Chains A and B, each alone.
Chain A
């Protein structure tokens, strides 16, 4: 059971990394996810049915994901649409595109060789999944760590953090945002390709709820592993993907029916958003009380007022001034 979740988590990890790239690095909530995930699945399974090898088909899935990201990026930067709307438009359009690629709503693999079939047949399916997931996720993480050591990676981080400053320092911010969308959705589509091969089919509905899964995993990962270094942050994302699978397995074990899975993932997201907020609030309260005791003041009124102000920093309040300002207003009262 635990090992199954580990394997599944590793297959979902590229999706979480993709969501992390737009959500944390570029500071954009990108809904394209819901379309690019099944796109990766549809393209990969269709390509395999047409005779392509599992590796070629998976890479093709990755590349079409990049194209989907490019579309959202162009809508966002060149046509100046709000990023949420840009994502929704691409996602909606992709539904039809995916149906065209697949020809019908669900296409199963017949007896094509999936990625796990390259491993010795004596291994159990669970182990095969863990090895394939681990290898693919490992390659993605290493390539991204290398990317973020280049000037391009630095420019990407700067653009997400402070677009005005980036432009003033010669960075073509529109181009950076588009590149970010492309890499992100490529990873997400790759995850779709892996999941589809693991399931043995591609389904038009498999993208529903993936953005919630992605965001929840990002937040879970950050609860367990935070840091300034990109390697640590990316490993945190992989960990988040795995722990999220454990949480779902745990909940299913408690007897929740499969139909409640989406509701469950929404509730998990709410919990992981609220948990760090409460944590910060509690810690600040403790600190303020200790400080007031130290300087010999005992005023409950002061304590509560200071606490409510200092806990204004939420987990979702992103990096840039834009988001923190909006969030700050929400929590200020």
Chain B
């Protein structure tokens, strides 16, 4: 016990650990995420190695040419790890993981040979398409190195076909164009396609941004370290990005940093294909996109013209088709409009894809959970890093999200002048979503003193708005130092963001996201549920609480749908519908009978009809709305309505008449629905009544007529013969089923009046039939009444009459069926199968009051032997008395009816036998000790209060 005690004491602490623990992702996932490789690039092998990269155009090469030597000794050598994936060779230095990152697409490898090595070491010389060379010196066991090489050889072979497509792909890279034009002096080289900015001007002033100088720096970098799909990224690469990428190169650097260049290469042509396949198609997303096209960076001239609008439309719709879970979210239009200033449609498409998947997951989802989560995380950071400001914000109840939410959701495009937003984008693509947090924190920090003065939302917003409009101004206009004076507010912002808030790392962001995720998801689920329930149809029979239960069961059933993330379809397919009903409908619960093919057919037949009936929009799927309105009708209190509904399931043409085939199906449906009672898995009111009578009987017998209700107690000797009641009930249901079929055909009307004469003939036929070979169900099917040449129909009125003529079926539609649908039951995921197979006696609401009343009635009426006798035959009498529209069949002797039952069994001989036997098997397998067939009742204590809910407690041994 003390062990558990101490565990409990530790629990809060453990909770805290769990809170701060980032969910484990696999090494592969981490690897792909870090290097932004496509999802299928799992690590095939890795090894330690030393690597040096000698560019075809680098200084080293020139030196070599001059000296005419072949030594590599002068190249930088990095120690690190080499990874092989299906399409990439990736090297990472082990010094700081950013001094030398090389990502080479295997299709770019031209030749691999063993290097002339100085030592005994095992080295490879890899030559790329560009002529650049990589020297890999393997470290470690020789055979492991050999293994790696063998694996690499296989992969290289696989990638040979891709190499053919390489030139075309490279033609789309501006870096390649720069190198070829300036180094190889190729004249007739086509300029790679560019974004809208090339035609409509890039935002900002090119002279101020020192475009040309920056482009030169990048050219030199490519010369020395390779470019695009064969590049080595080092600290200089990061530095060049931080000072601002030149306009013409932005598209390539962005896609290189965010990894979309790999997607674009791997899925060449897919973008065009998606557009073509979905041309002219409409969807909610397409409509929403259309509304916003002219509202996306409308002040940028390209988006006032059809050309810009069309590009935007293409990218947004293509993405909505590619990722229907996201579809389209406002703010994506602004982000894509921004991307398209620099990128081609295809580049923007893949870039958007990685933004949504890797950079800001969940931001644009249907529930926008990522947005909500990051706002929460941001507030936590503000609270932690700037507690004074945070207190002020809370004190004046300032809704900070009004300003901060657009920073994250539209990546600063709507907040800052575009040229600055793009500078932040450069860094965002390089370092990830932490950049958004760092910059946002810095914005508040820089304006901290002013913000502490504000007293309402309006002032808060105004200060920041003004700040964004003056980002190009000097941060220190009054300084005497000219150098100091030249520092702009934007530069100051970047310094603050990346110096002061460099403590905000990607892993801290991930940790914080994880901390708040659960509560955000819960909030969303609560919100979604509330909203959906609010929009449910008006229900007449279902209460709010029951609606809430149905909602829970509905979405618990559709496992593919994540409410909090808004992914997956929220509609219900037929197979799930079956599982859904089985969670709370007695007749749909899984049972042994499901193994019987003919029963399964009945079950699916009925459920299919129900499904079709509920499917209001005829899409082969049910919405929650459908299910709620359907269930509301199904549990109606109105007997006639209930019968009518059941009839309408089979009356597909709505003419209030069922044809022969439909009559057979409706009887199958009834057979299926009543199965749980037929097999004795549950007891209906009639059986319950007769059991109660039985108990009362015993009490009276035991105590004589002197007993008063207050004294009721049951001696230990009294037993209830469970089996007897069960078989009685089974018999009753079988009988009802057989009567139903018989009467249906007996009372069916001829389809046309002219055939009235036939009716007599037919009924004659039927009589002969029933006289001779009634035992054969087959014969009944072939019966003249069913003869297709003499079609007869069963109309609604007749159907109702037939149902009402049978006590069991009448009761079934009055209450048994309704009560078998447990919309009150709370969802309990732990509910096992055993519980579903309830014991017959557990189903009895052993209503002490009623037993007591029964006893009193007997006592009061001076319990004579006569009354005992009458109660003995109670169920039989009831059976007969309520059959108002009495027929010859009703008054037929019990033996006759048994014959009818036999008729049934000959039709489904195995079925019936199995049904009967299974019910006992179930009984035996039930874990409850009370399943003993003969149950000893020890004592009954009844209360005289009028409260119906008071129960007699059955104490079992």
A binds B: no
Interface residue ranges, A against B (CB under 8 Å): none
